Structure 1
Amino acid sequence: MDGGARGANSGVMANVLVLGASGGIGSALQAAHAGRGDAVTALSRSGDGFDVTDPASVDGALAGLGPFDRVIVATGALEIAGAEPEKTIRAVTAKAMADQYAVNAIGPALVLAHAHDLLKPDGVFAVLSARVGSIGDNRIGGWISYRSAKAAVNQIVHTAAIELARTHRHAAVVVLHPGTVATPFTEKYLGRHPSVPPEKAAINLLMVMDGMTRDHTGRFFDWAGKEVPW
């Protein structure tokens, strides 16, 4: 991926905000940035009471923060309140689907509402999504609520990127797929799928974000920097 690098690749310390920093990927992203000398502000539900499903919590936590060179939204959930991903449309419930949207779509949208203040004019705002949220890449079905919530957040980021381009002309606002990461989040669902530890996933994502420019804004990329279809 072409573009001006930040952080360790450019020799300039970046100012980074990681949301969802207590999760497997979030904590690894925090550590990876700190390890290369970046200044990291980290917020999480367990550590700071930062709850993306609560607008007052989001507004209170983010008020006065920024601007950052990089904002990473690493919040998310696959299982909520014991509801496992559906294997069939017949298993969909209103509660499970609403919970998925609250965490995986509405939460990032509430954060993006602060993006104008959080992000520097040439910064990178990355929201972690999942390849299963791709409509074009869906060939096996299942996981209706989770897939739909991730597809929704993809649209939210794409739409926000269009707006932010008017005031942050050199920024990149993107969706990232971290790959299949071996965390408690995915433990039950790995099966035969190859996975990487969070530390490796974080390094992969840093390399992708380091290469981001305004030419990448509003788009969906995987851990290797390859574009994912919507």
Structure 2
Amino acid sequence: MISNNCLKNTRRLWDQIDRMERSERSVSLMPFTNIVMDGSIDLVFAPCVENRLVVASSSMGTAERVMTRMSDGVLYIDGPNDGDIVGARKEKCSIRSSALAFLRAMLGFASVDQFHKAPCKIVVGLSQEYAPNIIHKGVGKVSLSRLHQSDIDLEAAGAVTFEVDGVVQDLQLVISGTGAFECEDLSTSKASLMIDGTGSIKVEALDRVRSHISGTGSIIVSGQPAMKAKTISGTGQVRYT
């Protein structure tokens, strides 16, 4: 069960993303079932009957540099990388305190000074009934809240951290770059977990779990699943708690 604090935090994050410099994108093709992201972008998802796609930025004009396009049923979100953002804007980011609080909550910056030393941030806000399958090839953080759906496939192909909570019946997590899946508050019946790059996965599986490590990392599974299978050809460990 998702805590009331989690629900409040999700609403608060959406309220604060509304106060950032943002670009509302067309929802005519929503809901999306597959998303591929690249560049330095974070994503926040919360289920809702209202379809909504927003690109928000901590600096004026940066949100407009994020390109969204549909191809073969896949939504591609392409943003600038950190170097491009810094090169385009030499001055410090100027943002409202509410937007800064949003970024601090999402990205873990401890103070205003630390934020100003970092590149300007881009955050994509997405709401629809179910979370899509996501591949992130760039750098960022993906937060998926209150999931309640049959299946989802997530891949960290760049340097990405996923935070996921809720209930999913069939789950597939892949780290092909450098990343982490922090899914202690996500409950699943069937899970396929793979680390081909470097990273860590934490998840609860209640029925069946298949784990594979050919790179470097660790997989921690709670829930005492009845059926467990693992293969390790790289450097790492699979642990059940």
| Higher helix residue share | 1
Specify the structure having the higher radius of gyration (Cα).
2
Q: TM-score, normalised by structure 1?
A: 0.27
More strand per residue: 2
Provide TM-score, normalisation by structure 2.
0.26
